[in-house]
Amino acid sequence: MERILRRYFPLAVLFQHFPMACLANIETNIATDQSALVAFKEHILSDPYLVLEDNWTANTSVCDWIGVTCGIQHHRVTALNISFTGLTGSIPPHLGNLYFLVSLDLSGNNFLENLSRLRRLRSLEIFRHGKIPEVMGDLQNLRVLNLQYNPLTGSIPSIIFNISALEIIVLSGNNLPGNLPPDMCNDLPSLTGLYLTSNKFNGQLPSNLTACSVIQLLSLSSNEFSGQIPTEYGALKKLEGLYLARNSLIGFCAESVAPVSLRTTVAGISLFLGHLLILIG
């Protein structure tokens, strides 16, 4: 069973400690963050459960607002998580004034996003329709990109694979088609998890995924891949889980484990070979 992203990569590791601002500046900084979030609230078109209407008020500190996390030392907004609250609206550019914001989770809502000013983000989870916007390639500090279970279409913009800080990419449960770029790992030296389950990717598995040398979990099941499983995957010494079920694959698992012939079956088969879990079928 695939690991849940939040357990695999807890957001706590994303929050960095910044020097505490002097007392004279703290109130101004909090006011700046509050103004940004008020502007965000004003761009909400529908709040059916009154999540922001009843909780984001001037009577309480912005750090006590639902979904808002502030840093202990610097007392600035570091994370915003209002996922699955039924909100509809747009992301205003004012959100870029949240200077210390490193984690944004708007999944399970319906937003028209403007991400161009959020370049400090390290974790992004969002719900969107249509294609993955090219502007996401500007978020060069991203470590976690989670767009799972969206009605996404079109190919993955190649610029996504140029975000060298990325450690986890989650695009499972979409309608993304086509081949995986053969050079997708060239600029992802820190990638530890790639989740592409339940899409429409096809063609052969790229052999140069070995360039993602520290990858620990590779989930490619429920796609339309065909051909042989590259023996080069045996060079992935950090790999702990390889999920290939519900494709049309044949060949050998890896050179570094006992050769196992694979073929498509109705049900997935779990094989434990040393420390490596391989799900095929």
* CA angle (65, 71, 77) in 5-degree steps: 50
Return the ∠ at Cα 212 (arms to 274 and 218), rounded to 5°: 55
What local confidence, expressed as pLDDT, does residue 280 receive? 54
Question: Does residue 3 sit within a domain?
Answer: no
At 252 the pLDDT is 55
Q: Residue 5 above 50 pLDDT?
A: no
Q: ∠ at Cα 17 (13, 23), nearest 5°?
A: 150
Residue 5: inside a domain, yes or no? Answer: no
Q: Which residues fall within 8 angstroms of residue 84, CB to CB, at 6 or more apart?
A: 107, 108, 109
Of 112, 51, 62, nearest to 85 by C-alpha is 51
274 backbone φψ class: left, alpha, beta (φ>0; ψ -120 to 50): left
Give the sheet arrangement for strand 248-251, strand by strand.
177-178, 200-203, 224-229, 248-251
Yes or no: say if 80 and 104 are a contact pair by the CB < 8 Å rule.
yes
* Distant-in-sequence, close-in-space partners of 60: CB < 8 Å, separation ≥ 6: none
pLDDT interval class at 68 (50, 70, 90): very high
CB atoms within 10 A of CB 124: 22
CA angle 80, 81, 86 (to 5 degrees): 125
Residues of the domain holding 240: 13-280
Residue 264 in any domain: the answer is yes
| Confidence (pLDDT) at 278 | 53
**DSSP helix/strand/coil, 229:** strand
- Nearest one of 118, 122, 128 to 89, comparing CA atoms: 128
- By percentage, how much of the chain surpasses pLDDT 90? 52
Identify whether 144 is part of a domain: yes
The CA distance from 56 to 8, in Å, is 31
What is the distance of C-alpha 110 from the center of its chain? 17
Q: CA-to-CA distance for 201 and 198, rounded, in angstroms?
A: 9
Under DSSP, the state recorded for 132 is: P
pLDDT of residue 88: 93
* Domains contained in the chain, number: 1
**CATH number of the domain that 217 lies in?**
3.80.10.10
Position 4 in a domain = no
> Residue 149 has which token pair?
């279970």
Q: Which two tokens mark 33?
A: 């963050």
In a domain, 6, yes or no: no
Residue entry with tokens 């899409």: 199
pTM above 0.75, yes or no: yes
In a domain, 161, yes or no: yes
User: Is residue 171 included in any domain, yes or no?
Assistant: yes
* C-alpha to C-alpha distance for 94 and 32, rounded to whole angstroms: 10
Q: Is beta strand 144-146 parallel, antiparallel or unpaired with respect to 200-203?
A: unpaired
Q: Determine how β-strand 217-219 pairs with β-strand 241-243.
A: parallel
Q: What is the pLDDT of residues 82-136, one digit of tens each?
A: 999 999 999 998 998 999 999 999 998 888 777 878 888 999 998 877 888 888 8
Residue 150 binned pLDDT confidence (cut-offs 50, 70, 90): confident
Alpha-carbon span 111 to 45, nearest angstrom: 10
